[in-house]
Structure 1
Amino acid sequence: MGGWVLTPRPFMPQCLMASLFQNPSQDHADPGDECAALARDLAASVLPGHWDELRGRVSDGATGTPLTPMWEQFFRLLGPGGFDALGARQQQLLQQIHDDGVTYNVHADAAQAVRAWSVDLFPLLIDAAAWKQISAGAAQRAALLNAILADIYTGAQRTLKEGLLPPALVQGHPGYLRAVHGHAPPGNVWLHIAAFDLARGPDGVWRVVNQRVQAPSGLGYLLENRILISRLFPDAFTQLKVQRLAASYRLLMDTLLRLSPGGSGSRVVLLTPGPYSETYFEQVYLARYLGITLAEGSDLTVREDRLYLKTLRGLEPVHVVLRRLDDSFCDPLELRPDSMLGVAGLLQAVRAGHVLVANALGAGFLESPAVQGFLPKLCETLLGEPLKLPSLPTWWCGEPGVCDAPLDDLRSWVIKPVHADCGFEPTVMASLDYGQLPAWRERVHADPARVTLQQYQPLPQVPVWSDDRLAARAAMLRVYALSDGQGGWRVLPGGLVRTAPRGGNTVSMQRGGSSQDAWVITGDAVDDSTLLPPPMRPQDLVNHHRVVTSRAAENLFWLGRYSERAEYSARLARITLRALSGDDDLGPAVRDMVDSWCRQAGLIEPESPSLSDNPHGFERCIVRGLTPGQHAGGIVQNIQALGFAATQVRERLGGDHRQWIASATALELLPAAARRDELQAAQALRGLEQLTEILSAITGAQTDRMTRDDGWRLLSIGRHIERLTLLGEALSLAFRTNAVHTDSGFNLLLALFDSTITYRALYQKRLEIPPLLDLLMLDRENPRALGWVAQTLRARMAKLPGEAADKEALLALAPDPDDWHLPELCTHNQDSHYAWLELTLTQSIEGAWRLSDEISRRYFAHANAPDRTLGGY
């Protein structure tokens, strides 16, 4: 009877079961303590010489040593399942990233340009003492950089005259903007957001590696990381007293509105480079969180030194621009003339005092690593105090003799360009072979003014959960200082942690790095501020509407048009290939009709052989057109254009909608084997059938899953304009070629209108013109009938914003099916020429094209907008 009989409990954590086997007398031990002990045993060793964040000391490569108290507490609070549940939490994390559509655009990887955002399961924990040092140092640095900008652009330029900063580093830097000289931003606040990349050295001291002051990125990803990770570890987040973030974002918005020339009711926009920006997701996310409008440069226009947002409801004044564009791209008129991202005249609107740009333009030279070496003296001179947060030792080689000693021991340094135009990337000398060092020494001696030397420091190693085990990765912490507009600074309590790939010592999201949340442990009360607005009253909702920018509306308009065009061309290609592979003799009239249909839809090139002269060659041309790059028109081009339009309005489309469009653009219509062998219509038909299914899903998403706002109405209008012109041209060609008077031509026309079943249900096999025209022209219950299309088009247009007289003018361009009458449409002469039908179709098609042009002019380009702007200006 002296032994134990151990019956495993259902769902018992393995870490607890292991401890019971090892020491049966402790079967009532706290599971949290057991998980903390297991973490200590399982934690990976850290490379010697790196700071070990998990153990709070410089590493000697040993394992099994104690963890810091806050990390011990974190592992005690893992919650139900302990380590055994981490795999499931990792899957939850990945699923949530997928569901939220969190992405990062990797321009260096053509094979996977859009990559899912990578975030580790564990956060970085920062204790109160360390954060106090970081916070005070970052706030001081932000104040110092702001003072430097004020002195350079609007002050006495003491920094240059006294040699505190070499003029070559300022006025010789492309980030120095002479166009800004003499202009002081509101409140003399040059920097609303300053970001600093920090690394803890082997001595445990946090040091600044880089500073970002033009358009710092990361605030959106930081927020997304916090939401993701705090939900996975709710007990740890609460009991460790992690400081919250909302108050900092609130301060940012309050400061912008306080300093805005438009006052508290100002419109604020976030200026984005667009969907191809590597951090586009976070820009969309941040704009939504802050409750401001996301705008590209093409969404904005300057009129009479004032900035406006182009919307479907007119030009609306903009008073604040929170930008994510680097300085030189912001105004092609005065800065970089080849920029397609900025707003022409923005600088003039800024100088006129009508708009606040955050951060102010002109700070680019402060991002040069060479500036770091001059900050200690600058801080003592301008702020009267020593620099609290040190930089890594940094030397600008443009000063005579300064870099001679470092060059003798080059492997201890990182060579960085003074600015982006210097022609080389930052290079860690320790990563090179000794034989490569002489060439770098020669390069530095040849052009020292372009070179900065920054001392190499092993990055701290943070714990990560990788491959179901505790591992360690090199990491860097980015923190953000935010201005309060009155001379004070608040450092957001947390940050964006970027981690290096396994075995690396360089952090780069572009090169496969990951990220972490940063938890600041506070001994004080946790700030429970929120950015959620107060509850809305019924009267607040009376005129509430979602702003639809003209750019978004235009892309939705073309999304609708290309969706319809792709669907039509895919249906036509299927009908044609089936007809050509059938046993029926189409006859000359039908061949002429099908030939004209295919050329009009761009399925074949103009110089391709005609269907009448070379049916086999015609078929080969259609099949060949399903291969990307074969010719400019056709199905492939329509799908690509559809995909492009969708990327421009990604934030307005649901996840399924985006996925279907991605599937369409990725679909290989013609297998590679078919391209090498004889081009086979059967293989092409299979690809077209797959595409048709996908396009049907896209149509369903647009019809049933999008809010019926002004943007959706433009999408629907685009679809119906396209359907009206395509089907109208097809019907006209069927009568002009007289193919409609043949059985095969009649049936092909019904198939193209997707109305075969309806016609047979109503009229059986009576192939007669009056019932055909009634169904395809006048039937208001058939969504393919031109009458239904025109009626729906007019109904959508009637609900667009604008003055009644303007909408009446637009409606006058749209065909009115109430003016169509079957007896007149069926009137024909002895040569079977349906003159009234031809006239009606021609007028409808031309009216649709004029309507498209007028919509573009009024709602997208605002060509007549100066007399009808909104907002009191």
Structure 2
Amino acid sequence: MQETTQLPQSLLNYARPDTFYDEVFGPDGEIREHWRYLLEGLGSMGDAGLQERQRKAERILRDDGATYNISSETENSRTWGLDPVPLVIGSEEWSRIETGLIERAELFDLVLKDLYGPRELIRQRILPPELVYSHHGFLRPCQGLRLPGDKQLIFHAVDMVRGGDGNMVVIGDRTQAPSGAGYALENRTVMSRVLPSLFRDSQVHRLSLYFQALRRKMASLSPNGDSPRVVILTPGAYSETYFEHTYLANYLGYSLVQGGDLTVRNGYVWMKSLDGLHRVDIIMRRVDDTWCDPVELRADSHLGVPGLLEVARAGNVVITNPLGTGVLENPALHKFMPKVAEFFLGHELQLPSTQTWWGGEPDDLKYMLDNLNKLIIKPTARRSGDHSIYGASLSKEKLEELKARINSNPMHFIAQQANLPGSSPSWQNGELKARSTVLRSFAVADQSAYSIMPGGLTRVASGDEQWIVSNQLGATSKDTWVIASEPQRQISYIEERSATFTEDQTSDLPSRVVENLFWLGRYSERAEAGMRLLRTVLIQLNSLSYLPTTVHDLMLKAVTQVTTTYPGFTQDSAELLSQPEKELMSVILDRRRPGSITANLHAMLNCSEETKEMLSADSHRVINDLRDELAQLPQLLGNGLSVAPEEALDPLVTSLLALSGLTQESMIRGFGWRFLELGRRLERTLQSTSLLRAMLVPVLEDSEQEQVIETVLLTSEVLITYRRRYRTRPQLDHGLTLIMLDKTNPRSLHYQVDLLRQHIEQLQNRDRSPVLSEEHRAILEALTLVQLSRPAELANAGEDSGVREALDKRLARVQTLLSKVATAISDRYFDHRSGPQQLVHTGWSEEP
């Protein structure tokens, strides 16, 4: 070791494993040369500096919204984990690995073309027919399906670990919809900010060429001429890797769609948008094979497009990777790859697979069962919740259970030699620890060969006893630095290309995205209105001054009426009104209760997930803050409503206001922004009318009426304006003037309804129809009703009725018209047709 090498104290304490390959230290205990510069840089910043870099990386990932969803639930998602210590690979070694990866991708492409073509591998007895035909990834309807060009396998991902000799060994292939390239790009972006000088001076290979090749390949595949429309098909916001789907869609400039956004008509695939149907040329899918077409594949799928496979067979749409590639993910193929390579290439693979035994062969099955405690067991088909099993980690009882499972379906299990992953240093709990490491590389078909991403996505175990490295099992990730032998030329990630200008680039959004933006606006306003009222009511209930029973009960009933959490305080229950804490806590915290604050905020967060690609980075930061504050709300209210409970709601209201401001300042004024604004203004008007009806229609004594008016003014954020303008005690006619008619008040009914009119007229102008639409007529009538209002008349009490009938009728009519507007917009612009329904359950695609 050179004396000039300055190592961090944590590396000096680094426990170097004796039995496995370590990335940093050679067998002689010396540091490998390509690690030296990085370790010197880490040493110069010390352990405290490295810890700070980790915290910075976590903040960036959180602000970017980089998540990995656990158990397919967005609420249980966790921020993507990134180790601040990258995996470093020397240029010479990477050159050998890259050559092997290209060769492997070429071979798998040949296998794919053969299995859905002449099937010479089966005819020549190189592959057992049951290996192919018993695997649910082999799709007979895809026979003869071909993409333009020679290469049929467009994307290929390979999982590798170190073998006993230190060389890389393949333990798995991903060919359906390989994930991880987007996360690798995010890791690189974060690391270039966390360790900028180290990254720059280390001469790390850039990722640009891989993504340039990807774009180039997508453009070349178009079956319908130049300027193809490329979409990324995602299972939706509940997908484990949904962040990656949105990230790549934004980065590459492709539309992100779900199955319901696409339709098959006249032999083509079309994307449903607000301004009509747009023909889709290329689908980059992130949905597994059998879920892509409920007509010919899996009948119970709601993730795919009915009739998609027929259009692909006709050559009118290109799907990458093509349907049917799931058969290549069968790990039992590893056993036969040496013979397959000899058949197609005439020589052994440079990058070998780990030794594999398949339960479909009697000798292999016997070896598997006799040596379960020494092997890694895998199912031949990946399914949700299934993981590789390291036999040595099982008890005798668990081993017997595993034996019984294998004996029941031996063809559906394989065993692999326990090439346990080599280790690399990982910064965990304030120190460097040796952790198992798996590298996933990525290949994309280019013009004549495959392009390989330099490095890829490195996953590292979270504990020293975790031999199976999986994101679902809590693994974190590393950036992968392939060190160049000479300085790298600076290249943009995306190649230069001629720009195309569209006057309204957001008009071609899927209608699903626009609908979710509409409801994002509505749910945010519902939550904000409810919290504003609750804050005011809680302040009044806990104030030192006397609160008359009539006012007390009226405020509580208004909470139920505005939040629509019926029956609530509208029940004829004196006990509930006298002891309101439990009900108020339910209105705030009960997520299962429609109309509650928590329910509305979670619905808003779900809408934000569905529209993730439309929101700015700052908006994502605010949404993440809101999500964190919502998670802390039960704890903040743990002591009940006796000690300043309104302060627990303040951060949530502030976050909603920040989000509203950001959408005003950072969104293009296209369809997306317009429908977000429509939802926001529509809901704000409905909430305001509900508040006025609940609080001001009942007639009270003068002193009580003043308290109620003050509550309404405070809730509506105009109490200070009222005092400065009128300099009198709260009076109903002045309050109605300010809340209903004042054009300068951004929360007045007139202001909101007039904005709605403007948005609706803009939509009407796009249609170029001289006939007013239903929503246009309704909003004009509502605006006229507000404009013709005379506060003094509306403030008059009816004779002996106890209510202000004129005010109630006027507000009720405005509410009815606004509800009509909402329904008309929904019917006119959003797609409510139900998806395909399964009539017959075939069960053919499920493993027995």
With the shorter chain as reference, the TM-score category is 0.7 to 0.9
Distance 2:581 2:408 in 1: 64
What is residue 787 of structure 1 aligned with on the other side?
Answer: 750
Pairs within 5 Å for 1:340-419: 340-419=302-381
Q: 1:627 and 1:418, CA in 2 relative to 1: closer, same or farther beyond 3 A?
A: same
> How far did residue 690 of structure 1 move?
5.7
Distance 1:674 1:411 in 2: 52
Q: Is the 8 A contact 1:416 1:425 kept in 2?
A: yes
What is residue 805 of structure 1 aligned with on the other side?
Answer: 769
Q: Secondary structure at the match of 1:390?
A: coil
Which of these residues, 438, 452, 476, is aligned with residue 476 of structure 1? 438
Render the CA deviation track for 1:121-171: whole Å, top value 9, x for unaligned.
333232344323322222222222222222222x12223333332232222
Q: Is the 8 A contact 1:105 1:276 kept in 2?
A: yes
> How far did residue 89 of structure 1 move?
4.0
Q: Which letter does structure 2 place at the counterpart of 1:713?
A: R
What is residue 97 of structure 2 aligned with on the other side?
Answer: 134
Q: Secondary structure at the match of 2:30?
A: coil
Q: 1:226 and 1:621, CA in 2 relative to 1: closer, same or farther beyond 3 A?
A: closer
What is residue 28 of structure 1 aligned with on the other side?
Answer: none
What is residue 555 of structure 1 aligned with on the other side?
Answer: 516
> How far did residue 671 of structure 1 move?
5.9
Unaligned stretches of 5+ in structure 1?
1-18, 20-31, 864-873
Distance 2:806 2:671 in 1: 35
Deviates more, 1:725-734 or 1:820-829: 820-829
**Does 2:115 align with 1:152?**
yes
Distance 1:469 1:785 in 2: 57
What is residue 661 of structure 1 aligned with on the other side?
Answer: 626
Q: Secondary structure at the match of 1:395?
A: strand
**Does 2:811 align with 1:841?**
yes
> How far did residue 360 of structure 1 move?
0.7
What is residue 826 of structure 1 aligned with on the other side?
Answer: 793
> How far did residue 482 of structure 1 move?
1.3
Q: Which letter does structure 1 place at the counterpart of 2:783?
A: P
Q: 1:740 and 1:479, CA in 2 relative to 1: closer, same or farther beyond 3 A?
A: farther
Q: 1:157 and 1:40, CA in 2 relative to 1: closer, same or farther beyond 3 A?
A: same
Distance 2:398 2:635 in 1: 49
What is residue 616 of structure 1 aligned with on the other side?
Answer: 578
Q: Secondary structure at the match of 1:49?
A: coil
Q: Is the 8 A contact 1:196 1:479 kept in 2?
A: yes
Render the CA deviation track for 1:689-741: whole Å, top value 9, x for unaligned.
56545544444444556554432222221121112222224434567544598
Which of these residues, 214, 227, 244, is aligned with residue 176 of structure 2? 214
Distance 2:690 2:60 in 1: 47
What is residue 200 of structure 1 aligned with on the other side?
Answer: 162
Q: Is the 8 A contact 1:310 1:860 kept in 2?
A: no
What is residue 824 of structure 2 aligned with on the other side?
Answer: 854
Pairs within 5 Å for 1:10-21: none
Distance 1:740 1:568 in 2: 27
TM-score (norm 2): 0.86
Q: 1:302 and 1:129, CA in 2 relative to 1: closer, same or farther beyond 3 A?
A: same
Q: Secondary structure at the match of 2:322?
A: coil
Q: Which letter does structure 2 place at the counterpart of 1:817?
A: L
Which of these residues, 528, 537, 561, is aligned with residue 567 of structure 1? 528
Distance 2:193 2:708 in 1: 63
Q: Is the 8 A contact 2:271 2:277 kept in 1?
A: yes
**Does 2:131 align with 1:164?**
no
Q: Is the 8 A contact 2:175 2:325 kept in 1?
A: yes
Q: 1:188 and 1:861, CA in 2 relative to 1: closer, same or farther beyond 3 A?
A: farther
TM-score (norm 1): 0.84
> How far did residue 670 of structure 1 move?
7.9
Render the CA deviation track for 1:653-673: whole Å, top value 9, x for unaligned.
524421342145224268675
Q: 1:551 and 1:372, CA in 2 relative to 1: closer, same or farther beyond 3 A?
A: same
Q: 1:657 and 1:413, CA in 2 relative to 1: closer, same or farther beyond 3 A?
A: same
Q: Is the 8 A contact 2:180 2:457 kept in 1?
A: yes
Q: Secondary structure at the match of 2:85?
A: coil
What is residue 280 of structure 2 aligned with on the other side?
Answer: 318
What is residue 460 of structure 1 aligned with on the other side?
Answer: 422
What is residue 492 of structure 1 aligned with on the other side?
Answer: 453
Q: Which letter does structure 1 place at the counterpart of 2:560?
A: C
> How far did residue 238 of structure 1 move?
5.4
What is residue 261 of structure 2 aligned with on the other side?
Answer: 299
What is residue 87 of structure 2 aligned with on the other side?
Answer: 124
What is residue 817 of structure 1 aligned with on the other side?
Answer: 783
> How far did residue 372 of structure 1 move?
1.2
RMSD: 3.8
> How far did residue 758 of structure 1 move?
3.4
Q: Which letter does structure 1 place at the counterpart of 2:355?
A: P
Distance 2:633 2:91 in 1: 56
What is residue 638 of structure 1 aligned with on the other side?
Answer: 600
Which of these residues, 645, 655, 673, is aligned with residue 712 of structure 1? 673
Render the CA deviation track for 1:486-542: whole Å, top value 9, x for unaligned.
5x22222221111122313221222232222223334477465433454888x9586
Deviates more, 1:797-806 or 1:74-83: 74-83
Deviates more, 1:549-558 or 1:600-609: 600-609
Q: Secondary structure at the match of 1:493?
A: coil
Q: Secondary structure at the match of 2:459?
A: strand
Q: Secondary structure at the match of 2:769?
A: helix
Q: Is the 8 A contact 2:234 2:257 kept in 1?
A: yes
Distance 1:804 1:740 in 2: 54
Which of these residues, 260, 266, 280, is aligned with residue 228 of structure 2? 266
> How far did residue 774 of structure 1 move?
2.9
Q: 1:806 and 1:547, CA in 2 relative to 1: closer, same or farther beyond 3 A?
A: farther
What is residue 13 of structure 1 aligned with on the other side?
Answer: none
Q: Is the 8 A contact 2:623 2:655 kept in 1?
A: no
Instruction: Count matched residues.
Output: 818
Q: Secondary structure at the match of 1:263?
A: coil
Which of these residues, 243, 247, 253, is aligned with residue 209 of structure 2? 247
Q: 1:447 and 1:50, CA in 2 relative to 1: closer, same or farther beyond 3 A?
A: same
Q: 1:109 and 1:255, CA in 2 relative to 1: closer, same or farther beyond 3 A?
A: closer
> How far did residue 781 of structure 1 move?
1.4
Q: Is the 8 A contact 1:477 1:497 kept in 2?
A: yes
What is residue 843 of structure 2 aligned with on the other side?
Answer: none
Q: Is the 8 A contact 1:746 1:767 kept in 2?
A: yes
Q: Which letter does structure 1 place at the counterpart of 2:756?
A: L
> How far did residue 236 of structure 1 move?
5.6
**Does 2:143 align with 1:143?**
no
Render the CA deviation track for 1:567-601: whole Å, top value 9, x for unaligned.
2222333444566676344549x957863662353
Q: 1:609 and 1:811, CA in 2 relative to 1: closer, same or farther beyond 3 A?
A: closer
> How far did residue 298 of structure 1 move?
3.3
Render the CA deviation track for 1:286-330: whole Å, top value 9, x for unaligned.
222222222233333333332233334433222111111211222
What is residue 283 of structure 1 aligned with on the other side?
Answer: 245
Alignment identity in percent? 33
> How far did residue 391 of structure 1 move?
0.7
Q: Which letter does structure 2 place at the counterpart of 1:856?
A: S
Q: 1:375 and 1:728, CA in 2 relative to 1: closer, same or farther beyond 3 A?
A: same
Distance 2:195 2:726 in 1: 66
Distance 1:125 1:286 in 2: 25
State the structure with more CA Rg: 1
Q: 1:853 and 1:352, CA in 2 relative to 1: closer, same or farther beyond 3 A?
A: farther
Q: Which letter does structure 2 place at the counterpart of 1:821?
A: L
What is residue 12 of structure 1 aligned with on the other side?
Answer: none
Render the CA deviation track for 1:633-663: whole Å, top value 9, x for unaligned.
3333222222222232334152442134214
> How far did residue 93 of structure 1 move?
3.5
Render the CA deviation track for 1:769-793: whole Å, top value 9, x for unaligned.
6544433322211223211111121
Q: 1:660 and 1:185, CA in 2 relative to 1: closer, same or farther beyond 3 A?
A: same
Q: 1:830 and 1:142, CA in 2 relative to 1: closer, same or farther beyond 3 A?
A: closer
